[in-house]
């Protein structure tokens, strides 16, 4: 490597690293309350809820009597993780661990983006998106889960078994990482990744069940949730309140939800939409013929988008999942997910105003709150439709012959290029 090339490389690394460091210092100042963000203090959940859970877990049981515990048994690891820094109080340790998870994702995206046939667009999307969410990003454990999912997807091409193992581990933290397996190429890759996921998943369930009682209590608490005020279905009641709807907004099952007439029906409709979305994914999986280097990431991004948009709950931290998966898509030059990724970025920017800055307007269903929800959820719906169209076009309707034309020529050693565009059909 020449001196000029080395200087160019260092400059290329220095700029994103500097921007990441600057924005993350600002985030840390927000969660440590040096910079005050308007609206409710999102960090209190760490002290009141997470720390309370940790005390119950340390006593040798899952939170059996707490309806706000709605997470798979592996979530106990995230809740107990501040104990790794015993010289800090619980909240401070949690914030620093969230920062460390952020750094891991950034490092993975930078490393992957500098390889042949890749791009740093994913790293830049991550740099921009996380601070757009504000202090919520470091005040929930979703960054830790997203780090696992990003690592799984970046391992998919060369190590399918690692993809499966990490997907299973991530699902034990928060169910959605299981969806990263949706787009594995047929044949050996699917066999290795899915069998690894099944094996690791069963082993972890046995370990968590033996560890302490109550490992599956979250299933009941999750089942009984209603329609949260930020979800897509909630727009029905935000509008209905202006026409005399007699329901109310209350803190229920750990989130602010609508309670009253027609809420169960709307919640059921949301679950039906989720089932329909997964039905579409199944049809896509059966029909897909062309799998490119980005298909695993593209399919994971699309699946989690559908899962999020149709959910009865769209909490602000869910955006972290989406920007993490979108960033992995943008690492691959073969991915056509730029528009959905940038729509998610825009939705993330709106989310910070929806919560926490002007959350009172959302709760009151006033014109500003309604506008914020329509824009944020509308962007997510647009992104979902766009992602589905891109995934279908590239894998189902695109000619395998045309796709094969984009495969890099074999190297002189006779081995295929490292980052093949076409993986199978």
Residue 412 confidence (pLDDT): 35
Determine contact, residues 153/304, Cβ cutoff 8 Å.
no
Looking at the DSSP bridge assignments, the partners of residue 424 are 291
Residue 10 has pLDDT above 70, yes or no: no
- Identify the weakest region by mean pLDDT among 59-68, 197-206, 262-271, 352-361: 59-68
Residue 1 has pLDDT above 60, yes or no: no
Higher pLDDT, 409 or 169: 169
| The three-state (H, E, C) secondary structure of 146-193, written as one string | HHHHHHHHHCCCCCHHHHHHHHHHHHHHCCHHHHHHCCCCCCHHHHHH
Residue 399 has pLDDT above 80, yes or no: no
Determine contact, residues 254/224, Cβ cutoff 8 Å.
no
Q: What is the pLDDT of residues 117-129, one digit of tens each?
A: 899 999 999 999 9
Average pLDDT in the 401-413 region?
A: 39
Residue 415 confidence (pLDDT): 35
Average pLDDT in the 11-35 region?
A: 93
Sign of the C-alpha dihedral, residues 29, 33, 39, 43? Answer: positive
Residue 2 confidence (pLDDT): 59
As a whole number of angstroms, the distance between CA 248 and CA 365 comes to 11
As a whole number of angstroms, the distance between CA 414 and CA 305 comes to 39
Residue 5 has pLDDT above 70, yes or no: no
pTM of the entire predicted model: 0.91
Determine contact, residues 335/302, Cβ cutoff 8 Å.
no
Residue 324 confidence (pLDDT): 98
Average pLDDT in the 376-380 region?
A: 98
Q: What is the rounded average pLDDT for all residues in the chain?
A: 89
Per DSSP, 138 falls in state: G
Name 42's Cβ contacts closer than 8 Å, sequence gap at least 6.
134, 135, 136, 139, 355, 356
Per DSSP, the three-state class of 89 is coil
Q: Which residue has the tokens 């921009």?
A: 128
- Identify the weakest region by mean pLDDT among 4-18, 34-48, 83-97, 279-293: 4-18
Residue 8 confidence (pLDDT): 61
Residue 215 confidence (pLDDT): 82
- CB burial readout 388-413, b (16+ within 10 A) else e: bebbbebbeeeeeeebeeeeeeeeee
Residue 197 has pLDDT above 70, yes or no: yes
* Two tokens, residue 221: 């608490």
Q: What is the DSSP string of 107-135?
A: HHHHHHHTSTTB-SHHHHHHHHHHHHTGG
Query: C-alpha distances in angstroms, 42 versus 127, 217, 247, 305?
Result: 21, 26, 26, 24
Of the pLDDT bands very low, low, confident and very high (cuts 50, 70, 90), residue 423 is very low
- Identify the weakest region by mean pLDDT among 60-69, 176-185, 246-255, 411-420: 411-420
Q: What is the pLDDT of residues 208-252, one digit of tens each?
A: 999 988 888 777 655 656 789 999 999 999 999 999 898 889 888
β-pair type (248-252, 255-259): antiparallel
Residue 407 confidence (pLDDT): 36
- Identify the weakest region by mean pLDDT among 108-112, 213-217, 334-338: 213-217
Q: What is the pLDDT of residues 294-330, one digit of tens each?
A: 999 999 999 999 999 999 999 999 999 999 999 999 9
As a whole number of angstroms, the distance between CA 383 and CA 345 comes to 10
Q: What is the DSSP string of 4-38?
A: HHHHHHHHHHHHHHHHHHHHHHHHHHHHTTSSPPS
| Backbone φ, ψ for residue 66 (5° rounding) | -115, 110
Report long-range pairs for 166-169 (Cβ below 8 Å, ≥24 apart).
Answer: 167/193, 167/197, 168/196, 168/197, 168/198, 168/199, 168/200, 168/201, 168/204, 169/74, 169/200, 169/204
Looking at the DSSP bridge assignments, the partners of residue 292 are 422
Of the pLDDT bands very low, low, confident and very high (cuts 50, 70, 90), residue 419 is very low
| Backbone φ, ψ for residue 59 (5° rounding) | -80, -5
Residue 7 confidence (pLDDT): 61
Average pLDDT in the 38-54 region?
A: 92
Residue 410 has pLDDT above 50, yes or no: no
Query: C-alpha distances in angstroms, 70 versus 64, 231, 253?
Result: 10, 17, 9
Give the percent of the chain with pLDDT over 70: 89
Residue 218 confidence (pLDDT): 74
Residue 47 has pLDDT above 50, yes or no: yes
* Two tokens, residue 307: 């899962």
């Amino acid at each position: 490597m020449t001196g000029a090339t080395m200087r160019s490389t260092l400059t290329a690394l220095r700029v994103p690293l500097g921007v990441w460091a600057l924005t993350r210092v600002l985030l840390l100042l927000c969660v440590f309350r040096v910079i005050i963000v308007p609206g409710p203090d999102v960090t209190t959940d760490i002290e009141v809820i997470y720390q309370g859970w940790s005390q119950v877990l340390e006593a040798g049981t899952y939170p059996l009597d707490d309806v706000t515990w709605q997470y798979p048994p592996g979530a106990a690891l995230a809740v107990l993780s501040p104990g790794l820094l015993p010289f800090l109080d619980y909240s401070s340790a949690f914030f620093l661990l969230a920062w460390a998870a952020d750094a891991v994702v950034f490092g993975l995206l930078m490393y992957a983006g500098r390889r042949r046939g890749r791009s740093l667009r994913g790293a830049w999307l991550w740099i921009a998106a996380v601070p757009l969410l504000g202090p919520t990003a470091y005040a929930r454990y979703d960054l830790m889960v997203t780090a696992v999912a990003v690592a799984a997807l970046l391992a998919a091409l060369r190590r399918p078994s690692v993809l499966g193992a990490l997907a299973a581990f991530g699902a034990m933290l928060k169910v959605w990482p299981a969806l990263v397996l949706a787009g594995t190429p047929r044949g050996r890759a699917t066999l290795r990744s899915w069998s690894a996921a099944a094996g690791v998943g069963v082993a972890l369930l046995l370990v968590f069940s033996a560890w302490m009682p109550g490992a599956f209590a979250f299933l009941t608490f999750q089942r009984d949730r209603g329609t949260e005020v930020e979800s897509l279905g909630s727009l029905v009641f935000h509008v209905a309140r202006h026409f005399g709807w007699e329901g109310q907004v209350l803190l229920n099952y750990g989130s602010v939800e609508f309670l009253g007439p027609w809420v169960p029906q709307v919640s059921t409709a949301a679950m039906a939409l989720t089932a329909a979305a997964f039905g579409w994914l199944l049809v896509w999986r059966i029909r897909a013929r062309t799998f490119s280097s980005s298909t695993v990431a593209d399919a994971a991004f699309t699946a989690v988008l559908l899962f999020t948009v149709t959910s009865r709950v769209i909490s602000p931290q869910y955006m972290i999942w989406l920007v993490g998966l979108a960033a992995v898509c943008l690492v691959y030059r073969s991915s056509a997910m730029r528009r959905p990724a940038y729509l998610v970025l825009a939705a993330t920017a709106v989310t910070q105003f929806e919560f926490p800055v002007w959350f009172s307007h959302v709760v009151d269903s006033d014109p500003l709150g309604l506008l914020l929800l329509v824009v944020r959820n509308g962007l997510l719906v647009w992104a979902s439709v766009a992602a589905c169209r891109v995934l279908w076009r590239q894998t189902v309707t695109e000619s395998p012959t045309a796709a094969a034309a984009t495969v890099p020529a074999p190297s002189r050693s006779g081995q295929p290029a490292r980052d093949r565009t076409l993986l199978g059909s």
